[in-house]
Every structure is written in C-alpha cells, then in structure tokens.
Amino acid sequence: MNRYSTSGLLTAILLFSLTGFCIADETPMFLAQIQGGESGIAGETDEMMVITIENYAPYFNITEGNATYSMPLEHLTTISWPLHAAILFADDEEDTVCLVTVANLSVSEEENLMMLHVAPLPFYEGELLTPLAEEFVELDTMQGETFNNTVVYLEMPRPKAENEPLCCPGGYWLETDRCCREEGQGNILCYWDRFVSCS
C-alpha cells in the first residue's frame, strides 16, 4: 500500500495552488477544498461506499493565483453530480490519498456530519487532481478504517455564466462569477446567489 509522506503532501498542495483553474472539454473547472475532522469509510453496495466526515467546515475554499476565497457549503447543493475528488485521510502516523467519484454529498447541520456516497476512481485523466493522482491508495482497501482529519479536494464546474451583466449589492465586489466581500483578518467570503439587477 503506497502512502504519501508529509513532504510529498505539502508539494501536492503547493501544486494545487499553482494549478488554479483549468478548461476541460470547454467546461471551466475549479478545485474546491473542504476541511473536515474525524472520518470513517464503510461499504454500501458492491460498487458504492460511504465516507462520513465529522466537524466539517461550513465553507469550502477555492484558490485563484495568490488569493483564496471561501464560499458557503450550501452552494454545493446547486451543482450537478457526480464529480471527481481526491480525499486526504490523516492520522497520527501518516497521510493517505484516495481518488473517488462522488455520486452525491449531504450534510446534517445538527450533527455537524457530512456524508459522501462515492465509488473508487481507478484512474484519472483530468488536470486539477493530477498532483494527487500520481500516487494514491485504492479506497476499497481502506474500508472500516477511521482517521483524525480529512480534506476533500473536489473538482467542480463553474456555474454557467448569465447572458445579462452581473452586478453585486453594496459592500460586495464582482469576482468573475461571484459576489465577494471582506470578512476581516484577510478572509474573503463569496456567493453565487447575491447578484442584483444592474439597472
């Protein structure tokens, strides 16, 4: 079983930041990072598995150039599934990366629990997950294990651009396809659903 070393992981994350956005099949894609706590992997059917992640962050992060933007996790309910993802599982001894196809994602705010219904991804031909796709562990070999910390790197399509001009309310600025504002301490929070009429 191949395992990522800590140095290899840091290199991969650096490459993520440098890669940024890409165009695949003329569909703009970006990499969303979801931070979580303890996780477990269980079998669901012969082909599907369930990954449960506790204490997930209420926002996911995307990086463009030197800037990192946060967006509410609820925005993930507006996208189309399935999507490819690399999931980093970390414990006290080592870090492990698995590639998966995510069929859907659900959250329980009361329990602060996220559930990913996934299938193992045997190979990957895209670009954004390539730094982690070079060395990964098959998910089915991890069944029944638990981990202290979890990070989901989700390859996502950009929302389709509107035909009309996009404008943001007061206190926000337009950042490509979203309305953003400063949240203090250098944090930038963005939304796909805050657009207003430009008239």
Question: What pLDDT was estimated at residue 79?
Answer: 83
Peptide bond into 72 cis (omega under 30): no
Question: What pLDDT was estimated at residue 18?
Answer: 35
Whether the model clears a pTM of 0.85, i.e. scores above it, the answer is no
Question: What pLDDT was estimated at residue 83?
Answer: 95
Tens-binned pLDDT, residue by residue, of the chain (199 aa): 444 333 344 334 333 433 333 333 456 788 999 999 999 999 877 789 999 999 999 999 998 777 889 999 988 877 889 999 999 999 888 889 999 999 999 999 889 999 999 999 988 888 899 988 777 889 988 889 999 999 999 998 877 666 678 899 999 999 888 999 998 777 899 998 889 988 7
Question: What pLDDT was estimated at residue 19?
Answer: 39
Question: What pLDDT was estimated at residue 173?
Answer: 93
Written as six digits, the tokens of 58 are 């209420």
Calpha distance 72→21 (Å, rounded) = 19
Calpha distance 20→113 (Å, rounded) = 28
Question: How many CB atoms lie under 10 A from the CB of residue 166?
Answer: 14
Instruction: Please provide the distance, in angstroms rounded to a whole number, between the alpha carbons at the two ends of the chain.
Output: 59
Contact 117, 87 (CB under 8 A): no
Question: What pLDDT was estimated at residue 162?
Answer: 63
